[in-house]
Structure 1
Amino acid sequence: MSADALLPFIAEVFDQMPFNRLLGLKVTGFSAEQAEVRFAFKPELVGNPVQQILHGGVIASVLDTVGGIMAISSALRRLEQVEHEVLVAKMGKMSTIDMRSDYLRPGRGTEFIATAQVIRSGNKVCVCRMELHNEQGVHIALGTGTYLVG
């Protein structure tokens, strides 16, 4: 099976992760060039009740999730054919090595969109750049993540 044919399966796995479901994350875009995750504002995600803004940990988690999706996609593209068992094994070994989050503006909005692109992908490690915007296009945060993929 080609890597492109596996993209829906990868998105479904991330959509079904209990923590991602708790946050309300939904993979809404996924290609060789970019991954996209969306979620709606809800009171449970607030970090500052006075300002009603997203918790920084929620923002970091979302950036890490979208970066991880992109890293797995990048790793699979290095293979000509991918069997289901290989995909499951690779996803089981994938982990975040390091991630940096830069908080640019308060997390205000009704819907949030996180995107990721690959900066560099190797046999063992993939580096991605992630961004978080609200529904009005306000840039809330950016991140750089390094992922173990091999």
Structure 2
Amino acid sequence: MSSSPLLAQISRLMNEQIPFHRLIGLEVTRFASDISEVQFTWKPELIGNAPQGILHGGVTATALDMCGGLVAIASVVEGLPHDTPAAEVIQRISRCGTIDLRVDYVRPGRGDTFITTSHIIRSGNKVAVARMELHNQDNMLIAFGTGTYMVG
């Protein structure tokens, strides 16, 4: 079984089937084990500081967490034998979840489009660790984080 169609299916699931992600407007734009990317567009419902009109810190943390989880899941899927049945792959990734998340807010969240990227630091049989960054459309760093994810 090729992992590329499965990764595409998981990406669609994350884009369309998680209500909170849809509410925020998160969209998976790249989903691979080397780097994953999530984007969203500014909208007034995402304001966390009304007088300054800046992004809510919880939205920032959610985008970072989702992107870190994606790269962790992708590393699990791509590390499985190619003949692993799809049902087994889905069962394995359904047990994935966030163990720990650290977010460092560098600048106020201002922009029109926000891009979150993630890279794997370590991926083991039970736990994966990812590094994530959130930039605006001008490539200004807004926040970064480290996430630890249960993957097995």
Q: TM-score range by the shorter chain?
A: over 0.9
Question: Displacement of 1:92 after TM fit?
Answer: 1.4
Write out per-residue CA displacement over residues 69-94 of structure 1, whole angstroms, 9 at most, x where no aligned residue.
Answer: 10001111221123221122122100
The equivalent residue for 1:9 is 9
Give the Cα–Cα distance (whole angstroms) in 2 for the partners of residues 137 and 41 of structure 1.
15
The equivalent residue for 2:129 is 127
Write out per-residue CA displacement over residues 43-93 of structure 1, whole angstroms, 9 at most, x where no aligned residue.
Answer: 111000011011000000000000011000111122112322112212210
- In structure 1, stretches of 5+ residues that fail to align are none
Give the Cα–Cα distance (whole angstroms) in 1 for the partners of residues 85 and 73 of structure 2.
14
The equivalent residue for 1:62 is 63
- In structure 2, stretches of 5+ residues that fail to align are none
Report matched runs for 1:1-150 at 5 Å. Answer: 1-16=1-16, 17-81=18-82, 82-150=84-152
> What amino acid is aligned across from residue 113 of structure 2 in structure 1?
E
Give SS of 1:47's match.
Answer: strand
Give SS of 2:80's match.
Answer: coil
Q: Give RMSD over aligned pairs.
A: 1.0
> What amino acid is aligned across from residue 62 of structure 2 in structure 1?
S
Give the Cα–Cα distance (whole angstroms) in 1 for the partners of residues 47 and 93 of structure 2.
30
Question: Displacement of 1:32 after TM fit?
Answer: 2.8
Question: Displacement of 1:3 after TM fit?
Answer: 2.3
How many residue pairs match? The answer is 150
- Percent identical among aligned pairs is 51
Q: Is the 8 A contact 1:3 1:73 kept in 2?
A: no
Question: Displacement of 1:145 after TM fit?
Answer: 0.2
Q: Is the 8 A contact 2:33 2:120 kept in 1?
A: no
> What amino acid is aligned across from residue 36 of structure 1 in structure 2?
E
Give SS of 2:128's match.
Answer: strand
